[in-house]
């Protein structure tokens, strides 16, 4: 087989077979296929697309290009959840204990955050003592005994995807549905998921700018999942403003605790109920979203969800006393309000710009080497559709530095106050097959 023939075949709009796709991914991972040829193939795929079958072969070839986590020692269907990138997306902190409290194992492998999106392990790390660098057998043991554990990404997972993504980034071939879908799915499969629930975000600051694009991506991923024997469901959700009120690590832990107590923000709660119901469906625990929602509500009402969170934090070495006293979480030295400059209605809160403002405060990383300040972040008081008067507090900045003029400027740039706002749905579509 020759790479140049494979490039020509795709360029002409033909379908690649399994052997050809495996040849490409194995050769590229082993540095036998040079970047220039791989770039040419990525561009051909960008223009010609891929069938469901081709995307499935690509997904599995990338999943098998490095280490694969074997979770078969965990009893039950292991459901993983993935978001395409949110700001203030506190859902995993709520869903892990909430779904586990229903008896479904949650073996969550999570990454650290970069840029405007926070990482789940960074959020849990805001809890004093919390350990996420667990050996894989300890992680499996925790899930078997207590139904839930979180571990940081380690090992050499999907090196082919890592290399290809870096290449796509500099060859303008990121925005290709089959390439994005196989990139995401390969990572979930290598991490050991039996079933996958996807939260595909739509918005100005999100990967997918329109509902149509997001639906295409969601359908592509659901089809790949089903082709390779992993039940996959998806939600298309709005990321035109941050989710919930809190953005920042300790602040989001507090928001998650409130949500597990049934006192969380409405949008965050609603999204957790839909994603959580899909996780229960994927695990075969319930048959419909409605049944799932009722089960989750019951676990919040009877206190089991919060109790599972408390136990989970304690099993991972964290100070579980934060559950009863959130003031034990890291606290910022300064709380500074951002006043509205005029009367009106909040019509835009561009989520990625708000996320970048939180990052600049120290809640996130600009480069992989940056350290995070768990105490800092933002708490919104006004969301899209809320009326404001001049000088009302739009949000509170939690900071460990006194001068936050740069952050304020970024936040004003992210915000539009108009005469009226167009309310948008939180959830555009729920894809269950
Ligand atoms: N996120 C991924 O993991 N891969 C892509 O290709 C795009 C977004
Ligand atoms: Ca939030």
3-state secondary structure 360-391: HHHHCCCCCCCCCCCCCEEEECCCCCCEECCC
Closest C-alpha residue for ligand 1 atom 7: 180
What pairs with residue 346 in β-bridges? 417
Q: By percentage, how much of the chain surpasses pLDDT 90?
A: 90
Indicate if 161 belongs to the active site.
Answer: yes
pLDDT at 335: 98
pLDDT at 235: 97
Q: Tell me the CA–centroid distance for residue 225 and ligand 1, in Å.
A: 16
Token representation of residue 49: 């697309």
Q: Which ligand is nearest to the CA of 208?
A: 1
Comparing CA positions, the residue from 203, 93, 95 lying closest to residue 427 is: 203
* pLDDT, tens digit (0-9, with 9 covering 90-100), for 172-188: 999 999 999 999 999 99
pLDDT at 376: 98
Comparing CA positions, the residue from 264, 274, 252, 243 lying closest to residue 87 is: 243
- CA separation for the pair 330, 128 (Å, rounded): 8
Q: Is the pLDDT of residue 115 over 90?
A: no
Q: Which residues surround ligand 2, an ion (CB under 5 A)?
A: 88, 90, 243-244, 246
* pLDDT, tens digit (0-9, with 9 covering 90-100), for 379-391: 999 999 999 999 9
Indicate left, alpha or beta for 57 from its phi (over 0: left) and psi (-120 to 50: alpha): alpha
Q: Please work out whether the CB of residue 180 comes within 6 Å of at least one atom of ligand 1.
A: yes
* pLDDT, tens digit (0-9, with 9 covering 90-100), for 285-342: 999 999 999 999 999 999 999 999 999 999 999 999 999 999 999 999 999 999 999 9
Indicate if 353 belongs to the active site.
Answer: no
In this prediction, residue 67 has a pLDDT band, given cuts at 50, 70 and 90, of very high
- What's the Rg (C-alpha) of the chain? 22
Q: What is the mean pLDDT of the chain?
A: 95
In this structure, what is the dihedral angle of CA atoms 115, 109, 29, 2, given to the nearest 10 degrees?
Answer: -100
pLDDT at 177: 96
In this prediction, residue 112 has a pLDDT band, given cuts at 50, 70 and 90, of confident
Pairing mode, strands 195-202 and 231-238: parallel
Q: Could you give the strand order of the β-sheet that contains 79-83, starting from the edge strand earlier in sequence?
A: 79-83, 195-202, 231-238, 427-431
Determine which one of 82, 146, 188, 201 is catalytic. 82
pLDDT at 86: 85
* pLDDT, tens digit (0-9, with 9 covering 90-100), for 93-110: 999 999 999 999 999 988
Contact 153, 139 (CB under 8 A): no
Q: Please work out whether the CB of residue 218 comes within 6 Å of at least one atom of ligand 1.
A: no
pLDDT at 380: 98
Comparing CA positions, the residue from 165, 163, 199, 191 lying closest to residue 179 is: 165
- CA separation for the pair 120, 125 (Å, rounded): 9
Taking CA atoms, 15 is separated from 45, 64, 77, 424, in Å, by 10, 21, 34, 39
Buried b (16+ CB within 10 A) or exposed e, 358-371: bbbbbbbbeeeeee
Q: What are phi and psi of 238, to 5 degrees?
A: -75, 130
**pLDDT higher for 398 or 432?**
398
pLDDT at 218: 97
- pTM: predicted TM-score of the whole model, two decimal places: 0.94
Q: Please work out whether the CB of residue 184 comes within 6 Å of at least one atom of ligand 1.
A: yes
Q: Is the pLDDT of residue 116 over 80?
A: no
Indicate if 401 belongs to the active site.
Answer: no
Handedness of CA 361, 128, 305, 121 (dihedral sign): positive
pLDDT at 342: 97
DSSP state of 359: I
Q: Dmax over Cα atoms in the chain, in whole Å?
A: 68
- CA separation for the pair 56, 44 (Å, rounded): 17
Q: Is the pLDDT of residue 193 over 80?
A: yes
Q: Please work out whether the CB of residue 165 comes within 6 Å of at least one atom of ligand 1.
A: yes
In this prediction, residue 154 has a pLDDT band, given cuts at 50, 70 and 90, of confident
Q: By percentage, how much of the chain surpasses pLDDT 70?
A: 100
pLDDT at 228: 93
Residue 378: alpha-carbon gap to chain centroid: 19
Q: Is the pLDDT of residue 205 over 90?
A: no
pLDDT at 204: 82
Q: Is the pLDDT of residue 155 over 90?
A: no
């Amino acid at each position: 087989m020759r790479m140049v023939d494979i490039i020509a075949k795709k360029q002409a709009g033909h379908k690649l077979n399994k052997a050809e796709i495996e040849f490409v991914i194995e050769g590229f991972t082993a540095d036998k296929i040079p970047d220039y040829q791989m770039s040419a193939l990525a561009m051909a795929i960008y223009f010609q697309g891929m069938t469901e079958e081709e995307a499935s072969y690509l997904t599995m070839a990338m999943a098998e290009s490095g280490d694969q986590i074997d979770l078969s020692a965990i009893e039950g269907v292991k459901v993983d959840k993935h978001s395409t990138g949110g700001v203030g997306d506190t859902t995993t902190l709520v869903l892990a204990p909430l779904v586990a409290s229903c008896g479904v194992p949650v073996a969550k492998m999570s990454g650290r955050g970069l840029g405007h999106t926070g990482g789940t392990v960074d959020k849990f790390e805001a809890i004093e003592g919390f350990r996420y660098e667990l050996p894989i057998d300890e992680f499996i043991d925790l899930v078997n005994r207590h139904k839930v554990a979180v571990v940081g990404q380690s090992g050499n997972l999907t090196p082919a995807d890592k290399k290809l993504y870096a290449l796509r980034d500099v060859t303008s071939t990121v925005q290709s549905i089959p390439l994005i879908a196989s990139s995401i799915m390969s990572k979930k499969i290598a991490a050991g998921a039996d079933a996958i629930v996807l939260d595909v975000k739509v918005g100005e600051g999100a990967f997918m700018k329109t509902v149509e694009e997001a639906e295409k991506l969601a359908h592509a991923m659901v089809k790949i999942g089903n082709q390779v024997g992993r039940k996959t469901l998806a939600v298309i959700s709005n990321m035109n403003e941050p989710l919930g009120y809190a953005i920042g690590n300790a602040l989001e832990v507090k928001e998650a605790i409130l949500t597990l107590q049934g006192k969380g923000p409405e949008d965050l709660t609603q999204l957790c109920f839909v994603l959580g119901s899909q996780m229960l469906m994927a695990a075969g625990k319930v048959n419909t979203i409605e049944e799932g929602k009722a089960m989750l509500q019951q676990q919040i009402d009877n206190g089991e969800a919060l109790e599972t969170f408390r136990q989970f934090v304690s099993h991972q070495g964290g100070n579980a006393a934060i559950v009863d006293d959130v003031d034990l979480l890291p606290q910022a030295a300064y709380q500074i309000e951002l006043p509205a400059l005029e009367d009106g209605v909040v019509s835009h809160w561009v989520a990625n710009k708000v996320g970048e403002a939180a990052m600049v405060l120290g809640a996130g990383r600009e480069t992989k080497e940056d350290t995070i300040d768990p105490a800092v972040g933002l708490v919104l008081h006004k969301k899209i559709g809320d009326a404001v008067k001049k000088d009302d507090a739009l949000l509170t900045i939690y900071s460990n530095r006194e001068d936050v003029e740069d952050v304020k400027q970024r936040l004003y740039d992210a915000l539009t106050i108009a005469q009226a706002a167009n309310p948008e749905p939180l959830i555009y579509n729920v894809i269950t097959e």
